[in-house]
Amino acid sequence: MIKQYKTFRGGLHPPDCKAGSAHKAIEDCPLPEELSIHLSQHIGVPAEVCVAVGERVLKGQAIGRARGMVSVPVHASTSGEVVAVEPRPHPSGKTLEAVVIRPDGIDERHGALSGADYRSLSPEQLRERIRGAGIVGLGGATFPTHVKLSPPPEKSIDTLIINGAECEPYLTGDHRLMVEAAAGIVLGINIFRRALGARRVCVGIENNKPDAVLAMRQACRETGIEVVALATKYPQGAEKQLIYAMTGREVPSGGLPMDVGALVQNVGTAEAAAAALSSGRPLIERVLTVTGPGVAEAKNLRVRIGTPLSHLIACCGGLKGVPAKIIVGGPMMGTAQLGLDVPAVCGTSGVLVLREEDLAVRPEGPCIRCGRCLQVCPARLAPTTIAAYARLDRMSEARAFNAMDCIECGSCAYICPSAIPLVQSIRHAKASISAKRKKH
């Protein structure tokens, strides 16, 4: 009898291309000669710089203070001298303000950092600790975690879901973290559970990571935390799709997970929260994957925030061939880069390097009405219709077809036999609709 794994409607099966790094243990990446730590490390308001050029800072010291509720402080990822506070290239494609630190090699830790027993703290104190440590979602969205853990009183959260799906091809950092640091992840899960008061807690992992499923099940024994093996299908790790797979609940159009009593956190975020509470370590490093046929040796690295991509590539033996495309994140939802001078930020889950011969470039053709994009769309949209309205600049019609519900997973563009850039057109429509909303 074939076991039926939980999943969602739609989706597809791109080659996972994870073999190059899935069994590589996490390595500590050496410090670079210079760190560019951006003040924009999350989806909220950028932090405000609070150090000056020439000042010596310590590892874990705040170099940017939070501004407002949806913001967190930014911390120095090692000790050294601040040599500049200036605009630097950011993985988003913009040039944004950054604090540039020249490491002194001592890696001296800030004296005020200390841990605490999370069981002795109230939910409010836990959220404040998490905010002060600069914890944001490490799955890619980088939403400040303390805000996510503060739903309004009328939105009761009964189910906490931990995202260990890692459905993007090539990426294996979360996989290795679950194998190597399962106890830390469970500590973070318990911190989130206490902060929320959630009754049910479950971890969702795609079934192509059996060692991660086993490690998490062993670590979760006698905790009441369920570990669920999910079908391997992209985008299984998308928030709304994961909630449906784990609970059968469907987040309504325009709604949020809290509308169905659920909240999702990434395994990396849980491990970061555990470090913040147990040792006082703020978010100054993360695990990411450097991979792709354009890299000499694929690796999973624990990297200080602010490390240039060029340094990460060098730690993996350098480039192999001439790079034609450099992507921060995975190949489906990542962001193409113009070069290797941008630094790793909190949302950097991977660096993927592809060569010319690795890219399947096809000329765009007309829509042949095959309907494949309709079949794979996990949000059950009509991608060709929305994209057509977007191209005609008829954004009201695109909005009426729920363009804003698109999660930009890229499944429609991937499956399209005519190579129509559907997700790119929908993304344009979403940006236009959002801009119009702000004007009014």
Binding site residues for [4Fe-4S] cluster, as ranges?
367, 370, 373, 377, 406, 409, 412, 416
Residue 435 φ/ψ region, left for φ over 0, alpha for ψ in the -120 to 50 degree band, beta for the rest: alpha
Q: How far is CA 397 from the centre of its chain?
A: 31
The answer to whether 341 touches 89, Cβ cutoff 8 Å, is yes
Reference 162, options 214, 239, 272; nearest CA is 239
Burial 299-325 (b: 16+ CB within 10 A, else e): bbbbbbbbbbbbbbbbbbeebbeebeb
CA–CA dist 280, 114 (Å, integer): 4
The answer to whether 418 touches 364, Cβ cutoff 8 Å, is yes
Show binding-site residues. Answer: 367, 370, 373, 377, 406, 409, 412, 416
Q: How far is CA 68 from the centre of its chain?
A: 22
